[in-house]
Structure 1
Amino acid sequence: MKFQAKGIIPAMVTPLTQDYKVNEPALRKMIDYFIKGGVHGLFVVGTSGEFYGFSPEERRSIFEITVDEAKGRIPVYAGANGITTREAVELTQLAEDCKVDAVSVLTPMFISVTQQELYDHYVSIARSTSLPMLMYNNVTKTNVNISADTVARLSEIENIVGVKDSSGDFTLTGEYIRKTRGKEFSVLCGRDTLIHACLCYGGHGAITACANIAPRLMADIYDKYVAGDVAGSLEAQFLSAPIRMAFNLGSFPTVLKESLQLLGIDAGPSFAPVGTMSTENKELLKKALKEGGVLA
């Protein structure tokens, strides 16, 4: 049976020391915290994980630590994001060497590409690995959008098993679902406020930044939905909304890391030039976390 990407998968932050090194003990504790919180996978070195700040060898270290600490309890998804096809292929092969379960590949960024070039890009990466691969659409960060027709074409490739859509355009997410329905292909929501809606429309889960802060709450959106408690799923979605809406209180991903610090979880700084939040905004963040039920 084909690998199925599903459930609530934290888009994990990467804990750093004050001199911007990977904090291995903190990372291991964080992984265990997420698994005990009931999540269904772990996604490392993505946007929330500040992939852009790490060398290939640092990425290797994060992948290996995560695989080792997860111990097969849930799948590990590795970000293999590069501007060029060559870079994405190299990072995908590095991830495969670290024995992750799947890779997620963001569209190219900085450069503008056609849909045919996007198609060729993803096919080349898929052919370079035996790993299951997710496409990752995040147009607000990359200015490159994968069309629904391109996703439908790429869903025919054996080891391209899904797409994460962070566009926030639910018409596009819905078209991804409609045009790949009936296939062994997963559409995962990347906009945390739309997870319940995505499930109702036929989606398969989410790769979510809020699950860093509230893993059990975010897992409830999925678990309650698949158990038939649609109202309970929606209530969990509503409860999580203040947490997601607080993300604009600081430069990304500092709000995630500040939230974890407030919860007693060592996340360290974000890579400079991203700094800390203002005192005023930290108070607003505390209020949002209390509204979301994660801070007393």
Structure 2
Amino acid sequence: MTAEERRVPARGGRRMTWGDRDFEFPEQPVASLSDIDEFLEEGGGGGEGSRGSFSSEEGLEDDEEGEGSCNNAEESKKFWETQHQLLQGVLCRSSSTATRIRNATKVALKEVRAAGIPCGCRPSAAAADCRSCLMREVCVRLQSAGFNAAVCKSKWRSSSYMPSGEHTFLDVVDDSAGPKKGGVRVVIELNFRAEFVIARACGDYDRLVQRLPEVFVGKVERLQGVIKILCAAAKKCMKERKMHMGPWRKHRYMQAKWLGTCERTAPLALAGPPVIGFFSDGRRKPKASMLTLDLHEKLPDAHRTAVEVL
């Protein structure tokens, strides 16, 4: 652009000519320092006021999170209250058959603990402290009371959704209703509460487990209801504690313990004559020593030579 092409711009603006076209640029007002200070004080330009606006938005987000956690707390409280009510309803239901077997089981347990029967697995221990011996002694007494009792052993193979395992418990099959209706099966678990205990569980789950009976005696339908309630509670507890739920805590695994295929075995005392080394009631016989054996009575015709003991 030559010098002739430049023209004096109008007041308050600026005009430039390029070729045959004129371009006008209005003069922009220059901000003073006071204007800049006023702008910053009003919160413009990313100053402190701008940061204040972001903090207020963060405050709104915190309020939303707090409201969500409050809702979660209410939902959790409602869930545990519902589980307690469901469990109470299931435990209160009982039939006359299960009540008779429950009372007989209590009597059998008292007799075993009061008798001080030695353990058949460990001679230094008592049968009441050994799970297998305690089940055998209780089963013997239930059979003596006229019940079709047996020791049951369930066993299941490993699959894609649960590991293999096995479990031993008692059951009674009641055939008093007649062959047409079939037998009623009553499951007896002498250490029922411990089967649902979880390490580092939340307080709500622990309180739910404490409501379980130490000795469970009930029909299969009643046991199914208890398992369903406790497994749902265990899942909720693990989620709240942010812990992994092992497959042995899940519903299918717990059902396999008592409700899967099992083998019923009559206790040794009533299945036949006692084996060598045991009394008829299942107690282990004391071992004889050669030092206490009277050779004079056992071998009357044997030649004996007197030996002087110095």
TM-score band, normalised by shorter chain: under 0.3
Q: What TM-score results when the alignment is normalised by the length of structure 1?
A: 0.24
Q: What TM-score results when the alignment is normalised by the length of structure 2?
A: 0.23
Q: Is the radius of gyration larger for structure 1 or structure 2?
A: 2
